Structure 1
Amino acid sequence: MSTLGTTSVVFDLDGTLVDSEPNYYEAGRHLLAEQGVTDFTWADHEQYVGISTQESLELWKERYGVEAPLDDLLADMNRRYLALARASTPVYPEMRKFVELLAGEGVPMAVASGSSPEAIEAILTGTGLASWLTTVVSADEVARGKPAPDVFLEAARRLGVSPADCVVLEDAAPGAAAAHAARMRCIAIPYVAAQADDPAFATAGLLVRGGQTEFTARAAYEWLARSTPSS
């Protein structure tokens, strides 16, 4: 019997379980270059960490005056990203340990991500995480992406658990806001360290201000054990 009681854990994918943001940056940079936008930088990319690919493209169309149809841009972006993701997407070592630790305890787990279903499947399969993380929700499958709570609420529904029993792991402010809106506890591990003071992160039960460099599976597990309500 797990010491975590009825707790379930819902993971964001990009920037939380895996370091996929460099691949998203490269895919977006090349896509925009083909649309005549040649000055897209990593700092620009950081502004879109934590929101869905479709929402990012909608914002790019507005910001950069991209005229190509959204559906065409989305297909192009996913094609570029999938090629990079299949070639190399590293899992954060402590996150893999955490998944393995939770699996050993029999804790229900899910992934709720702004990526496409194809991208999520490719990454989980390629990294070997798919054997543990079988419940998956993409923002493409719900009405609203983060910071709306839809993906997290759908993950809880598919797990067959109460949102109040769920703990979310997130690297981005929109995701932390979505967890709060879903009335779920949150462990926040900011991907962009400079964003650690974002008000959305203040709603997290545990904020690992140093991001992945400070996150450990054992510390996260111990926090879960301490914060699990007594039955």
Structure 2
Amino acid sequence: MRFEAAILDLDGTLLDSMDVWEQIDIMFLQKRGLPVPENYVTEICARSFEEAAQYTIDLFGLTEKVDDMVREWNEMAVYEYARHVKLVPYAREYLKMLKESGIKLAVATGLPEKLFVPCLENNSVLGLFDALCSTDEVVRGKEFPDVFELAARRLEVAPDRCLVFDDVLPAVRSAKQAGMLVCGVYDKYSAHHQTEIEKISDRYIKDFTEAPLPGWEI
């Protein structure tokens, strides 16, 4: 099976941004005198902002409203994404190679548009993408296939011809549930799930120098 489209996650996959979120999470919880639980960042990164806020409220028994928490996170993140967050090594070269080879490109992310569009623009890759999809546009987060299915529809490519790149286990699972090819991507925050991700994925890479080339067949 050859792929005609690549659907790519951002945080931890295309963007070297997980440390930014770790710092935001630490600052957010420290303001409330709360510790950062082990695997907290991994638990929330596959969820939409609203789902992550509700998870945090439930985890700590907070009385704050979801909308207020999302607003605070956004305010903390907007500056960093627009100016400081960079692509992971070799990502730009890989995207350009795919585009030049006629492969359609889409983003499928849990980030809101106000964060990822300025970031992709600042990294000079926004124009490479044929579709930009966020979990803000669907009912459920990336532990369900909704955002991947949305990307396939916008690209007008059959799911089984789409290759999804993601670094977290719930998203890898849901992309497979959507009938798509999956390339698992190493990220230190998901290293404890690496064995499971490798088992589910059609390909697993440490960085984009190992990514499948156009014409790749399983």
Unaligned runs of 5+ in 1: none
Per-residue deviation, 1:56 = 1.8
Q: Which amino acid aligns with 2:195?
A: D
- SS for the counterpart of 2:182 is strand
Per-residue deviation, 1:94 = 1.5
d(CA) in 2 for partners of 1:12, 1:94 = 15
Conservation of the 8 A alpha-carbon contact between 2:2 and 2:216: no
Q: CA 1:94–1:42 in 2, change beyond 3 Å: closer, same or farther?
A: farther
Residue pairs, 1:1-231, within 5 angstroms:
7-37=4-34, 39-40=35-36, 43-191=39-187, 192-198=190-196, 200-208=197-205, 211-212=206-207, 215-216=208-209, 219-222=210-213, 224-227=214-217
Conservation of the 8 A alpha-carbon contact between 1:173 and 1:201: no
d(CA) in 2 for partners of 1:130, 1:42 = 34
**Alpha-carbon displacement from aligned partner over 1:108-163 (angstroms, at most 9, x marks no partner):** 11000011121121211121110102410000100111110000000011111111
d(CA) in 1 for partners of 2:22, 2:3 = 38
d(CA) in 1 for partners of 2:63, 2:45 = 23
Q: What is the aligned-residue RMSD (CA, Å)?
A: 2.0
- When normalised by structure 2's length, the TM-score is 0.91
d(CA) in 1 for partners of 2:33, 2:56 = 12
d(CA) in 2 for partners of 1:31, 1:77 = 8
Deviates more, 1:52-61 or 1:28-37: 28-37
- When normalised by structure 1's length, the TM-score is 0.86
Q: Give me the identity figure in percent.
A: 25
**Alpha-carbon displacement from aligned partner over 1:205-230 (angstroms, at most 9, x marks no partner):** 0022xx33xx41xx4234x52317xx
Unaligned runs of 5+ in 2: none
Per-residue deviation, 1:194 = 2.5
d(CA) in 2 for partners of 1:146, 1:185 = 16
Per-residue deviation, 1:188 = 0.3
Q: Which amino acid aligns with 1:165?
A: R
Q: Which amino acid aligns with 1:207?
A: Y
- SS for the counterpart of 1:196 is helix
